[in-house]
Amino acid sequence: MKKAFAVVMLAVLLTVTACSNQGESKKQAGVKELTMWSMETRSRDTIEQSIKEFNDTHPDIRLTAEFFEDEALKTKMKVAIAGNQLPDIITYWSGETFDTLVSTNMLGDITDKLAQDAEFKDNVLPGGLDTFTYEDKTYAIPVLFSGVSLWYNKEIFAENGLTPPATYDELLSVVDQLNAKDITPITIAGKERWPMLHWFSYLAQRVGGTEPFEKAKNGEADFTQDSFVQAGEMLRELAIDRKGFVNGFLGLDYAAAESLFVNERAAMYLQGEWAMEAFLNDEFAEKVGFVPFPAVDGGQGSINVYQGGFGVGMAISSKADQDAAYTAIRFLSSPEQRKEIYEGANISPMKNPGLDDSKMHPLAYEYDKSISDNLEGFFGYYDQTLDARRADQFLDLMGAIVGQSSNDVKEELAKIK
């Protein structure tokens, strides 16, 4: 028994030693381990294939990735920030959280590396790198451009003699005509709150341009400026007085709201390019058209300024091996590696993304080209651009405006501080 026990222990000891030696051998070989967090769950298969190719072609670096749905990643990031424990690479939204990462020195400065990578740097669309630049230092490579548009059912419009609205007055007229025929004008996920914020922020921009928001965001003014008050009153008129939104919209979640449009039970739907994911592979896509958010008569905001922008970037931790991490994000963000992503329901942030339109759905190609040809500028999502407190206050504001007609819009806006 003692001899048998000794033999077993010797075998265990030899196994442990072998594993330890393998680990030491790996360290001696100089293999750098990198971890990545990403919210691009829809593109996971493509990205994982790119990671495999990267690992195969970079034997001195080994990259592993975890993918999270939006809210799960936001929660995980709060914990990581509190403990100063970021992964080596993160794909994250621009806005307040990203600002915090920069101001607390948690992200690596990639300015010099981009300067030495001129061909790649010059291929990024104007404004792309600026979105992730602070005090002349750049901290991320944009990987997506986003633009919110008004999608509409071409068949419903044609059958009812309607023209896609170019102005807000025209939109209200379309709403009235659809209601008169018992057709739901607009579907929206009121339960989620942020889709209603799309309507409010677009109205505010079309009325007053982007300057009022920039002043309020920076504390130079508050949100009781005329453009915000007018936007709230216009939204209330649309939702309550004109019954523009689907009945019961305040209890509708994203999937239910999307389903109403896809199943042709609503004529219009205000969403970003990601909405195409729900219908690109369906015959319904042939019935879908889009227009920019309508202009407001007498307003200062251009119809070709989109809500969205370069909302997602790939950054590296200041604690990561800077050379290895930059090598990885440069590879993963290249047009060649993301080509398949941009040929779907996404918009490339590159001037020359190398897309093959023969492999793209006509609607996706048309949308991508329309924005590239007409884009004059963009403004960010309020709930991502503002600090967390004011973002939540704005989301709550939406229910207060469209849920109770007795609430004073200006008084509600004054609560955002």
CATH code for the domain of 403? 3.40.190.10
232 and 371 together in one domain: no
In a domain, 132, yes or no: yes
In a domain, 29, yes or no: no
Token code pair at residue 21: 């030696």
Predicted confidence at residue 29, as pLDDT, reads 60
CB contact at 8 A, 343 and 360: yes
370 and 258 together in one domain: no
Distance between CA 265 and CA 259 in Å, rounded? 8
In a domain, 10, yes or no: no
Predicted confidence at residue 45, as pLDDT, reads 96
298 and 152 together in one domain: yes
pTM for the model: 0.77
270 and 321 together in one domain: no
In angstroms, the Cα distances linking 226 to 240, 268, 365 are: 21, 28, 38
75 and 137 together in one domain: yes
CB contact at 8 A, 322 and 61: no
In a domain, 80, yes or no: yes
In a domain, 2, yes or no: no
- Residue 264, Ramachandran bin (φ over 0: left; ψ between -120 and 50: alpha; else beta): left
Of 369, 361, 162, the closest CA to residue 278 belongs to 361
Helices (H) and strands (E) in the chain, counts: 18, 11
198 and 241 together in one domain: yes
* H-only helix segments in 29-95: 44-57, 70-83
261 and 394 together in one domain: yes
Predicted confidence at residue 126, as pLDDT, reads 79
- Spell out the residues 6+ positions from residue 169 whose beta carbon is closer than 8 angstroms to its own: 297
44 and 103 together in one domain: yes
63 and 171 together in one domain: no
232 and 173 together in one domain: yes
CB contact at 8 A, 329 and 314: yes
Predicted confidence at residue 13, as pLDDT, reads 44
151 and 280 together in one domain: yes
b/e 351-366 (16+ beta carbons within 10 angstroms → b): eebebeeeebbebbbe
Distance between CA 46 and CA 53 in Å, rounded? 11
Number of independent structural domains in the chain: 2
Low-confidence ranges of the chain (pLDDT < 70): 1-29
In a domain, 11, yes or no: no
In a domain, 26, yes or no: no
Structural domain including 236 reads 147-305+381-413
Q: In 10 A of CB 394, how many CB atoms? A: 21
In a domain, 286, yes or no: yes
Token code pair at residue 116: 């030495």
294 and 155 together in one domain: yes
- Spell out the residues 6+ positions from residue 45 whose beta carbon is closer than 8 angstroms to its own: none
